[in-house]
Amino acid sequence: MRIVTLQESTKKNILENLLKRSPNQYGQYEDSVKEILEAVKTRKDEALFEYEEKFDHAVLTPETIRVSEAEIQEAYEEVDASLLVVIRKALENIRSFHEKQKQYSWFDPKPDGTILGQKVTALARVGVYVPGGKAAYPSSVLMNVVPASVAGVKEIIMTTPPSLEGGKVNPATLVAAKEAGVDVIYKAGGAQAIGAMAYGTQSIPKVDKIVGPGNIYVALAKKAVFGHVSIDSVAGPSEILVLADETANPRYVAADLLSQAEHDELASAILVTTSRELAEKVSEEVDAFIKTLSRKEIIQKSLDNFGYILVAQTMQDAIDVTNEIASEHLEIVTKDPFQTMTKIQNAGAIFLGEYSSEPLGDYFAGPNHILPTNGTAKFFSPLSVDDFIKKSSIISYSREALEPIHEDIEAFAKAEQLTAHANSIAVRFKK
């Protein structure tokens, strides 16, 4: 990996390079996505089935687009029993973590007859998008479905491409969905699936919110339908940043960097350290590991384009650039990682210590792995139960509570030249 001495000019260039990975930079695909969405919006199932045949090579009908119970049972027979055990263990951890995020309605009554409060209501119907293709991501199924289920969403539907031979869905995806509590699964992928959930078709109902990762077409489609429905985020490629000092194990650091570089040629893997010696050892370990890994071509392109080892003069300089990059995954491997963590402002998920490797969070620990990317950790949070609820303010005043303040409200309204507002209060006290 390239080793770069951290300076203000190099930091600026690196940040600009990383931002090239954002879905907001892929405007050339937007026209195609808009065309697909408009077709699904206007022609509904007819357009949806056409695009499924074109892109996923699956001939679907209103009867076959919905995954049947027989197909789900067949998936259970095809999935290795040991994987099912692991899915259930992970599911328990994920559910336990998200249960702690639940919010409840509250009311604050006063002796004068005032009642203020907040009513928490789960969304009625949520759509989860799950990528297909050659790879299966049952972990993402769990991470998207569990917080919706814990929040109390009444109906959770899922769409995923029928990308296997015979128009089948990956069995691990189906099993994970059933275990997590998905109500209905549809065979649909790409921008057309996002359009179907956003606008509704004869086969797929309109949802209130769409969550889940996907390719650039899915990301842009989610961006385009925002406003018709809510979305979780416009996710970019995966990324990891390891913040380390001279106490870090270079072999562990190298392995963790590569765990994200293998996702995608656009993935980013960055080490920020105060130790030139660690930087050089990590670079050597990376080179050695790549030769043994199955996705070496993808890893190498990722590192060539978006991989860096940054050597900072001080730990404060290292922390500053870490906060500026605002990585999706941040590992802190320093002498006192908890103390270092207190200075971190921007990160999706933070992993502390040399045995808290990033894949622990991807699969098993419990916190959500749907995280803000491309610097959006500066203002976004991981997917959570909060994403599947809405809050209504509650205001109740008696006459006795309103009377001593009614003139204050009228004066405020008149100051804004909104006399109808003022009259709405005054009329209650005119004789």
- Report pLDDT digits (tens) over 235-283: 888 999 999 999 999 999 999 999 999 988 889 999 999 999 999 999 9
Q: Residue 21's pLDDT is what?
A: 76
What DSSP letter does each residue of 303-367 carry, written as one string?
Answer: HHHHEEEEE-SSHHHHHHHHHHHT-SEEEEESSSHHHHHTT----SEEEESTT--HHHHHHTSSS
* Backbone dihedral region for residue 212 (phi beyond 0: left; psi -120 to 50: alpha; all else: beta): left
What does the pLDDT look like over 291-321, one tens digit per residue? 999 999 999 999 999 999 999 999 999 999 9
* Burial track 98-136 (b if 16+ CB lie within 10 A, e otherwise): beebeeeeeeeeeeeeeeeeeebebbebbbbbbbbeeeb
Of 241, 225, 194, 186, nearest to 373 by C-alpha is: 241
What does the pLDDT look like over 335-388, one tens digit per residue? 999 999 999 999 999 999 999 999 999 999 999 999 999 999 999 999 999 999
Catalytic residues: 328-329
Strand order through the sheet with 184-187: 184-187, 155-160, 125-129, 209-211, 230-231
What does the pLDDT look like over 183-225, one tens digit per residue? 999 999 999 999 999 999 999 999 999 999 888 899 999 999 9
Name the β-bridge partners of 395. Answer: 116
Share of the chain above pLDDT 90, in %: 86
8-state DSSP, 277? H
Assign 290 a pLDDT band (cuts: 50, 70, 90): very high
What does the pLDDT look like over 354-363, one tens digit per residue? 999 999 999 9
CA dist 375 and 152 (Å) reads: 31
Could you identify the residue written with the tokens 């408009």?
Answer: 38
Q: Residue 26: pLDDT above 70?
A: no
